[in-house]
Structure 1
Amino acid sequence: MGRETATAWAFVAPSVLVILGLSVVPVVWSLLLSFQADDLVTPSRWVGLDNYRALAQDPHFDQAVRNTILYTALYVPLSIGAGLFLALALNRRIRLVGLYRTLVFVPFVISAAAQGVLFSFILDPEFGAANTVLDVFGVSPQGFFNDPDQALLALLAVSLWSGTGFCVVVLLAALQDVPPSLVEAARLDGTGRLQLLRHVVLPSLRPVMVFLLLWQAITSLQVFDLVYVTTKGGPLGSTTVIVYFIWEQAFKNFTAGYGAAAAYTLALALLVLAVVPRLARALRGRTRPERSRPDVTGPDRRLEGAAR
């Protein structure tokens, strides 16, 4: 028995060491670092909650939070809404549908760095193809990444171009799992397309929509690569998001403790985002058995009979 245990640990040990070395140890170390003043050169000193107090009064961090919230509030519903629209359009037997699905998904597999380089050329104010096309339609040249009023929206557009493909694939798989019998019964009852979508399709997609809501929100809160490649947080801090702010404080300004405090502030926000839906689902599950059972002779019984 002891020999078998030793053999098992011999196989498991490399993975355990990797997890400890790349996950657990950095998390604990960065947590301790958030309570210290550390410039990565001189010995650190304990400052307690001073880093967190400074964050609460830092206008640059406040701007980064506002930019991140605005980006998330626009990206999440637009990506899911566009993904649902495209998924419904591609969930049909049309010619070359496989090619269309591939073209929609391809931008998602392109790295954010490559996207940033590509769109930096396309959206260049002087030589970019975007202003050339706009000039054909009589629209004056736009600043895009160089304009503080447009930079964040330009980043949002690039993110939607790539991130919508993930939503399309997930929703397409979910649409193909909608029971055909429900759809057929609804059509036999004379249900229109909008009513079919509202009362049959969308309720079946609810678990997937909750997953996409959480996934896209977490993804948007952690956006960094695209900002780093395209705008470097500018112009005038208009595209500085939280993760870029963390990188800037830790590796550009060499205030590692301050950056770690900002990182744990973001981690707390992500934890709340992940836990709140679970708590809401648990509370809803507790209250559900207390509800009175529906009258079997009422509309539910008639609907059951109609479905048969």
Structure 2
Amino acid sequence: MRADTAAGALPLSGRRRKAGPRVRLMPQLTGWGFVGPATLVIVGLSIFPAVWALILSLRDDNLLAPGTFVGLQNYRDLLDDPDLMAATGHTLLYSVLFVPGSLLIGLPIALALNRPLRFRAFYRTCLFVPYVVSAAATGILANFVLDPQFGIVNDLLAGLGVARQGFLQDPSQALLTLVVVSLWGSVGLPIVVYLAALQDIPRELIEAARVDGAGPLRVFRAVTLPQLRPATVFLVIWQTIDALQLFDLVYTTTKGQPLDSTTVIVFYLYQQAFKLFHAGYGAAVAYALFVVTLLVSGLALWYARRGEAAA
């Protein structure tokens, strides 16, 4: 009887082995059935505009009447456009001030918030809230706070005996003011990223360095900073892309003024494409900025890997 039972069980186990892959595949197919339509929509909304913009950059088109194919002429015109060069200079200056500034401000705050403090969670939340708020709302708030006549900042300066400042309405101060406003609104991201990276550092490494006689400064330089390298690389790339694509803050505060002192590349692209109806030229500017962003990101990754190899 036992022999017959064992013999009869063999085909059943064989059938189970054959049905196994299909049974394991069903949850995956079910999952793709749910996310597939949304994935197609998202990918379609990303790929179609990119391809259409590439075709548009090769045409003299105003989005209203049928355009003509001009090849690479729009890209050649980029090199001879003084307004674009000025906007590029403003963008580079903004990036040079914003990217290192956000990291240099975010890291010390993250180090402080990584210590056992009372109400630490409350402080973290307060510092991250400005990052959650949209840049458009930040810009509208900055207009009120920094108004030369009625802004609270100028009222405080007047109380201290300092002359009122133009801030966003002064050509010599407008871009620097945008950097400060951007830092206030964006420093929450470096703080959170650095906090997560600090909490992932093995305590054994820090304790071993202290046992070897290293002081706090030495521990920070020899242990903490190398462990923060991946987070720093991520933040440099992310903040650089964010700086190169600056638009909404400019649009809600200065609209490129005064005297075009805050006209950055993306705002200049917007003016060309949607105000002057030079859509083909605007698309060429967009693709040139895309290539520059890829090059900067690739250079940052290459430099980081080179540093890791050297270490």
TM-score by length of 2: 0.86
Match of 2:298 among 275, 285, 290: 275
Aligned AA (1:266): L
Report if the CA contact (8 A) 2:90-2:262 is conserved.
yes
In structure 2, the partner of 1:112 is: 135
In structure 2, the partner of 1:97 is: 120
In structure 2, the partner of 1:28 is: 51
TM-superposition CA deviations, 1:117-145 (whole Å, max 9, x none): 11100000111111000011111010001
Cα 1:73–1:231 shift into 2, 3 Å = same
- The percentage of aligned residue pairs carrying the same residue is 52
Counterpart mapping for 1:47-126 below 5 A: 47-126=70-149
2:69 aligned with 1:46? yes
Deviates more, 1:73-82 or 1:16-25: 16-25
In structure 2, the partner of 1:217 is: 240
CA distance in 1, matches of 2:304, 2:148: 48
2:261 aligned with 1:244? no
CA distance in 2, matches of 1:8, 1:89: 43
Aligned AA (1:242): I
2:192 aligned with 1:169? yes
TM-score by length of 1: 0.87
In structure 1, the partner of 2:230 is: 207
CA distance in 2, matches of 1:263, 1:222: 10
Unaligned runs of 5+ in 2: 1-21
> CA RMSD for the aligned pairs?
2.2
Match of 1:230 among 246, 250, 253: 253
2:164 aligned with 1:136? no
Cα 1:280–1:75 shift into 2, 3 Å = closer
Deviates more, 1:275-284 or 1:71-80: 275-284
TM-superposition CA deviations, 1:2-22 (whole Å, max 9, x none): xx9998986565235413431
Shift of 1:274: 2.3
Report if the CA contact (8 A) 2:233-2:304 is conserved.
no
Cα 1:258–1:103 shift into 2, 3 Å = same
2:173 aligned with 1:150? yes
Unaligned runs of 5+ in 1: 292-308
Runs of 4+ in 1 over 3 A off after TM superposition: 4-13, 277-285
CA distance in 2, matches of 1:200, 1:122: 42
CA distance in 2, matches of 1:284, 1:94: 34
Cα 1:106–1:13 shift into 2, 3 Å = closer
CA distance in 1, matches of 2:122, 2:33: 47
Q: Radius of gyration: which is bigger? A: 2
Aligned AA (1:202): L
2:216 aligned with 1:193? yes
